[in-house]
């Protein structure tokens, strides 16, 4: 059903899929990967992304990205590239929409703190948590736990994974042990994430007053588009100038990605998704000069945006909230809602800690703030 005529032989194809963990009848009016996308959109974890932070905490302003709008932007970039390359669009869309489902509240500050809290209990990895959400934590269907997604969707969601965890994961963990690549749709989603991230951080960072035009012009990816836009529209106001530059930056990087990937696929001579997996390296790439610019911008944002003094305050607050919630639930599981408390009651050690981590990871920013305030009362 999803196999449109223009799909290439190396695209993921449902007829050659490794399938679902629990057998189900085929959907009548949509493809298997469309069904995956629909299940993701209907999941509870997906709806919560609207109140989860990307870089700016939700209440800092209504115009900033949240994980939901980020995921939609990733999906939009990923789908464009997938279609241009003759890949499986619904699968790409499903992976992009699900890629951040396992993120904690408060972005990376939340994730790093939860990882520290879980240090003696197997740690916390947000990619692995995204897989856990779709495999186990969503409780919506009568016949199976989780969303029972297709192998290729799950393979794409698990972007990174430690070797220790890979060993326990079975089928989707194998590629980390065998050093194989995921399908091209997963590779696209991975880079679409990085492209979306860079560009919306420029936008949000500028809006927040944490990045100036002069600073941004030191970045070649930004500067070359600035020069063009400024030459053509010398009196454009800053806000529109920034939008026009970002639009062109995305256009440039995505076009480069499509062209370079097309070249690499041809050079590798792959004919099937298994040959893509065995190719020895990812085939979805930007060209070296553009990748260089992309990475330089990412480094710049890391330095000037994420570690900005104004952000560090919120980071420290977020760390304290996550740590104190974890400590409070560890010493009294009864402080959690019954569905978590009951699960935790029959467990101990690492398994009990995992239930607490699941509960905290599922929180939105504002839910975590309220829960933390509730601890005092």
Point out which residues bind Mg ion (CB under 5 A).
Answer: 100, 193
Of 12, 64, 361, the C-alpha closest to 202 is: 64
Least distance CB 375 / Mg ion (angstroms): 30
Burial of residue 15 (number of CB atoms within 10 Å: 0-12, 13-18, 19+) = exposed
Query: Nearest to Mg ion by Cβ — which residue?
Result: 193
C-beta of 95 vs 344, nearer to Mg ion: 95
C-beta of 254 vs 273, nearer to Mg ion: 254
Least distance CB 69 / Mg ion (angstroms): 11
Least distance CB 202 / Mg ion (angstroms): 16
C-beta of 86 vs 205, nearer to Mg ion: 205
Least distance CB 196 / Mg ion (angstroms): 7
For residue 55, what are its two tokens?
A: 């870089």
What is the DSSP secondary structure assignment for residue 135, as one 8-state letter? I
C-beta of 31 vs 107, nearer to Mg ion: 107
CB 185 within 8 A of CB 11: yes
Burial of residue 32 (number of CB atoms within 10 Å: 0-12, 13-18, 19+) = buried
Least distance CB 100 / Mg ion (angstroms): 5
DSSP-assigned states of every residue in 138-194: ----SSSSS---BHHHHHHH-----HHHHHHHGGGGHHHHHT----HHHHHHHHHHH
For residue 233, what are its two tokens?
A: 């529209």
C-beta of 32 vs 185, nearer to Mg ion: 185
């Amino acid at each position: 059903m999803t196999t449109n005529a223009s799909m290439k032989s190396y695209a993921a194809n449902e007829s050659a899929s490794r399938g679902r963990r629990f057998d189900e009848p085929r959907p009548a009016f949509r493809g298997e990967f469309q069904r995956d996308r629909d299940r993701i959109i209907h999941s509870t974890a997906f709806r919560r992304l609207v109140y989860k932070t990307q870089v700016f905490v939700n209440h800092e302003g209504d115009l900033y990205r949240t994980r939901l709008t980020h995921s939609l932007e990733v999906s939009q970039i990923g789908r464009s590239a997938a279609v241009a390359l003759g890949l499986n669009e619904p699968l790409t869309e499903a992976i992009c929409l699900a890629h951040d489902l396992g993120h904690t509240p408060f972005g990376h500050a939340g994730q790093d703190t939860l990882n520290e809290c879980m240090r003696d209990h197997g740690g916390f990895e947000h990619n692995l948590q995204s897989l856990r959400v779709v495999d186990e934590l969503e409780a919506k269907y009568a016949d199976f736990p989780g969303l029972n997604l297709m192998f290729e969707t799950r393979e794409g969601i698990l972007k990174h994974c430690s070797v220790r965890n890979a060993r326990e994961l079975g089928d989707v963990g194998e590629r980390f042990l065998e050093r194989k690549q995921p399908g091209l749709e997963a590779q696209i989603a991975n880079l679409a994430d990085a492209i979306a991230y860079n560009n919306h951080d420029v936008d949000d960072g500028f809006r927040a007053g944490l990045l100036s035009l002069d600073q941004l012009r030191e970045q070649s990816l930004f500067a070359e588009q600035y020069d063009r836009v400024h030459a053509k529209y010398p009196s454009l106001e800053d806000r529109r100038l920034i939008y026009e530059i970002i639009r062109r930056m995305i256009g440039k990087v995505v076009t480069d990605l499509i062209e370079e990937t097309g070249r690499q696929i041809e050079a590798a001579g792959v004919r099937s998704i298994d040959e893509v997996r065995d190719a020895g390296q990812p085939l979805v790439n930007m060209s070296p000069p553009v990748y260089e610019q992309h990475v330089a911008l990412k480094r710049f944002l890391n330095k000037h945006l994420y570690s900005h003094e104004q952000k560090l305050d919120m980071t420290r607050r977020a760390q304290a909230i996550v740590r104190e919630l974890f400590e409070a639930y560890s010493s009294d599981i009864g402080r959690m809602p019954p569905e978590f408390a009951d699960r935790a009651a029959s467990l101990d050690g690492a398994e009990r800690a995992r239930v607490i981590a699941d509960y905290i990871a599922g929180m939105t920013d504002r839910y975590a703030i309220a829960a933390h305030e509730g601890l005092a009362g």
